[in-house]
Amino acid sequence: MERLTFDLATQPLRELNTFLHNDAKDGKARHVTVLNPDGAHNIAVGLDCPVEVEIVGHAGYYAGGMNKAASVTITGSAGTGVAENMMSGKVHVKGFASNGAGASAHGGLLVIDGDAGLRCGISLKGGNIVVGGSVGSFSAFMAQAGRMVICGDAGDALGDSLYEAVLYVKGNVKSLGADAQYEPMTDEDIAAVASLLDQAGLDHDPKAFRRIASKRSLYHWNADANQEY
């Protein structure tokens, strides 16, 4: 069966997830449409095969959580922790995303067409995040690896305690967090932003973005420095 529809108004969530973990992995469906999500939590979590899932409407917490290889699209908005700890594949939110979007994602691509809430990309570990709108405060907190492209504005303390993740912002940044700094855009950065925008299907001038990375001054204890974290 190529296409299959699950209606969460009549079918339990557990049935959907179990299907996606087992039958979909066995190739019993390439494309699954989820109707009436109605803000349910944990839709399409822990996927482990290149299945395409379309959630028609709004999703609750952790939609597409820990995704591996699958492609999950949410036509509405997503709750807290969308695509948290994603390993690979793609999660696309066509509406807005709540707090902790893409938290600790190790890989894959998270695209949010609208705005994202607080702590977007917190503890990012190698995944890529593209946000068409703005992000809330404390985004990219302790982000270790991966890239974030923010087409709108950013709230307070962007990139606080950054490790090796790199952030690109087009709009205004209310404030940078401890140890984050602006750095010049290189050709490589412009190419990276262009590629991510292209994958996200967003049309912006890559040269209009600013690069933010770690000062690396918090990497080691320093008895003489004022501890600002």
Partner 1 sequence: METKPVQFKNLSREESYGYDRKTLDYIRNAAAHGLYEIRGMGAKRKLPNFDDLVFLGASMSRYPLEGYREKCLTKTVLGTRFAKKPVELDIPITIAGMSFGALSANVKEALGLAATEMGTSTTTGDGGMTPEERRSSKILVYQCLPSRYGFNPDDVRKADAIEVVIGQGAKPGGGGMLLGQKVNPRVAKMRTLPEGVDQRSACRHPDWTGPDDLAIKIQELREITDWEKPIYVKVGATRTFNDVKLAVHAGADVVVVDGMQGGTAATQTCFIEHIGIPTLAAVRQAVNALEDLDMKGKVQLIVSGGIRTGADVAKALAMGADAVAIGQGVLVALGCNGETYYQNGAHHDAIADYNALGTTPGFCHHCHTGKCPVGVTTQDATLEQRLTPAVGAKHLKNYLKTLNMELTTIARACGKQNVHHLEPEDLVALTIEAAAMAGVPLAGTNWIPGQGF
How far from chain centre, in Å, is Cα 61? 13
- Residues engaged in binding partner 1 (CB under 8 A): 13-14, 17-18, 21, 41-42, 45-46, 48, 60-62, 65-66, 68, 80-81, 84-85, 87, 100, 103-104, 106, 119, 122-123, 125-126, 141-142, 144-145, 163-164, 219-221, 223-224
Nearer to partner 1, 33 or 88 (CB): 88
Nearer to partner 1, 7 or 198 (CB): 7
Amino acid symbol at 119:
R
Nearer to partner 1, 42 or 134 (CB): 42
Q: How far is the CB of 95 from partner 1 (least distance, A)?
A: 19
Task: Write the CB contacts of 106 (distance below 8 Å, at least 6 apart in sequence).
Answer: 85, 86, 87, 125, 126, 127
| Strand, coil or helix: 66 | coil
Sheet strands (E) in the chain = 3-7, 31-35, 52-55, 71-74, 90-93, 109-112, 125-131, 145-150, 166-169, 180-183, 210-214
The separation between the first and the last C-alpha atoms of the chain, rounded to the nearest angstrom, is 54
Nearer to partner 1, 163 or 209 (CB): 163
Q: How far is the CB of 149 from partner 1 (least distance, A)?
A: 20
Helices and strands, number each (H, E), in the chain: 2, 11
Which tokens hold the place of 45? 């979590």
Q: How far is the CB of 29 from partner 1 (least distance, A)?
A: 17
Q: How far is the CB of 116 from partner 1 (least distance, A)?
A: 13
Q: How far is the CB of 22 from partner 1 (least distance, A)?
A: 8
Nearer to partner 1, 125 or 170 (CB): 125
